[in-house]
Chains A and B, each alone.
Chain A
Amino acid sequence: MGNKQTIFTDEQLDAYQDCTFFTRKEILRLHGRYHELAPHLVPMDYTNDPDCKLPLALIVNMPELKENPFRNRIVEAFSEDGMGNLSFNEFVDMFSVLSETAPRELKAIYAFKIYADFNVDNFLCKEDLEKTLNKLTKEELTPEEVDLVCEKTIEEADLDGDNKLSFADFENMISRAPDFLSTFHIRI
Chain B
Amino acid sequence: MVKELVDMSTRERIHAIRDLPMSFEEKKSIRSQVLAFKSANQSPHFTGFRDFTENASVTLRRWGYSVRSARQTLQLWQGTMKEIGGRFGTSVLTYFMFLKWLLVFNVVSFLINFGFITIPLLVHDHTPNLPPNVNFRGLEILTGAGYFNYTVMYYGSYSNETLVGLGEYNLQLAYFFTISLYMVLCGVALIFSMAKSFKENYVLSDPASSSAWQILCSWDFSIVNERAITQRKNNLSVQLKESLSEGAQTEMLTRSEKMKHFGIHLGSWLLSTSLAFGCGSGIYFLCQTTDDSSWTPLQEAETLLVPFVVSLMNLVVPLFYSLFNKFEVYSNQRKQIYVLLVRNVILKISILSILCYYWMQVVAKKFSCWESMVGQALYRLVLFDFLFLMLGSFFGEFLRKWLLPNLGVPEFDVARNVFELIYAQTLVWIGIYFSPLLPVIQILKCFIFFYVKKVSLAQNCQPPRRTGRAAQMQTILIALLFFPSFVGALSIVAYTAWSLTPSKQCGPFRGLNNTFGAVGIWIDNLQQSSSSYWVIWIYHHVIRSEVFYFFLALIVIIIIYIFWQVTQGRKQLIVQLRQQIVN
A residues contacting B by CB (< 8 A) are 1, 14-15, 17-21, 23-26, 63-64, 66-70, 78, 80, 89-90, 92-93, 96, 98, 103, 105-106, 109-111, 115, 129, 132-133, 136-138, 140-141, 145, 148-149, 152-154, 156-157, 159-161, 170, 173-174, 176-187
Give the complex CA separation of A178 and B73 in angstroms.
29
B470 and A179: CB pair below 8 A?
Answer: yes
Which residues of A have CB within 8 Å of B211?
Answer: 149, 152-153, 156
Nearest CB in chain A: distance from B95 CB, A: 14
Q: Residues 475-488 of chain B: 1 if any A CB is under 8 Å from the residue's CB, otherwise 0? A: 00000000000000
Contact: B224 with A149, CB < 8 Å? no
Task: Provide a sorted-by-A list of 20 A–B residue pairs whose CB atoms are within 8 angstroms.
Answer: A21-B18, A67-B223, A67-B229, A80-B25, A89-B24, A111-B216, A132-B215, A137-B237, A138-B233, A140-B234, A152-B211, A152-B247, A153-B215, A179-B218, A182-B470, A182-B471, A185-B90, A185-B221, A185-B222, A187-B85
In Å, the complex CA distance between A23 and B21 comes to 19
Q: Which of B199-207, B368-376, B526-534, B560-568 contacts A (4 or more CB under 8 A)?
A: B199-207
CB of A177 within 8 A of CB of B213, answer yes
CA distance A159 to B582 in the complex (A): 6
Q: How far is the CB of A127 from chain B (nearest CB, A)?
A: 14
Residues of B within 8 A of A (CB): 14, 17-19, 21, 23-25, 27-28, 31-32, 58, 61-62, 65-66, 68-70, 72-73, 82, 85-86, 90, 200-205, 207, 210-213, 215-226, 229, 233-234, 236-237, 240-241, 244, 247, 468-472, 578, 581-582
Q: Which residues of B contact A149 (CB under 8 A)?
A: 211, 215, 240, 244
Q: Which of B61, B210, B578 has the most CB of A within 10 A?
A: B210
On whether the beta carbons of B216 and A15 are closer than 8 Å, the reply is no
- The main secondary structure of chain A at its interface with chain B is helix
From B58, B221, B470, A98 is in contact (CB under 8 Å) with B221
Residues of A contacting B86 in the complex (Cβ-Cβ under 8 angstroms): 187
Indicate whether A179 sits within 8 Å of B217 (C-beta atoms), given known contacts A24-B65, A67-B224, A67-B225.
yes
Q: Distance (Å) between the CB of A71 and the closest chain B CB?
A: 10
Q: Bound complex: CA of A148 vs CA of B240, how far in Å?
A: 10
Which residues of chain B are near A140, meaning CB under 8 Å? Answer: 233-234, 237
State whether B472 touches A178 (Cβ < 8 A). Answer: yes
Inter-chain CA distance A177–B90, complex, in Å, is: 14
A112 to B216: give the CA distance in the assembly, Å: 9
Indicate whether A182 sits within 8 Å of B90 (C-beta atoms), given known contacts A66-B224, A67-B226.
Answer: yes
B18-A19 in contact (CB<8A) = yes
In contact, A176 and B203 (Cβ under 8 angstroms): yes
With A153-B211, A160-B581, A160-B582 in contact, is A19–B241 under 8 Å at CB? no
B65→A136 contact, CB < 8 A: no
Chain A contacts for B32, CB-based, 8 A: 15
| Chain B residues with CB under 8 A of A185 | 90, 221-222
Q: How far is the CB of B491 from chain A (nearest CB, A)?
A: 31
Name the contact of B216 in the complex, choosing from A64, A141, A170, A187 (C-beta under 8 A).
A170
Tell me which residues across on chain A come within 8 A of B21, comparing CB atoms. Answer: 106, 109-110
A33 to B358, CA, bound (A): 61
| B247 partner residues in chain A, CB cutoff 8 A | 152
A18 CB, min distance to chain B CBs, angstroms: 5
Q: What residues of chain B lie closer than 8 Å to A141, measured between beta carbons?
A: 237, 240-241
CB of A173 within 8 A of CB of B216, answer yes
Question: What residue of chain B has the Cβ atom nearest to residue A139's Cβ?
Answer: B237
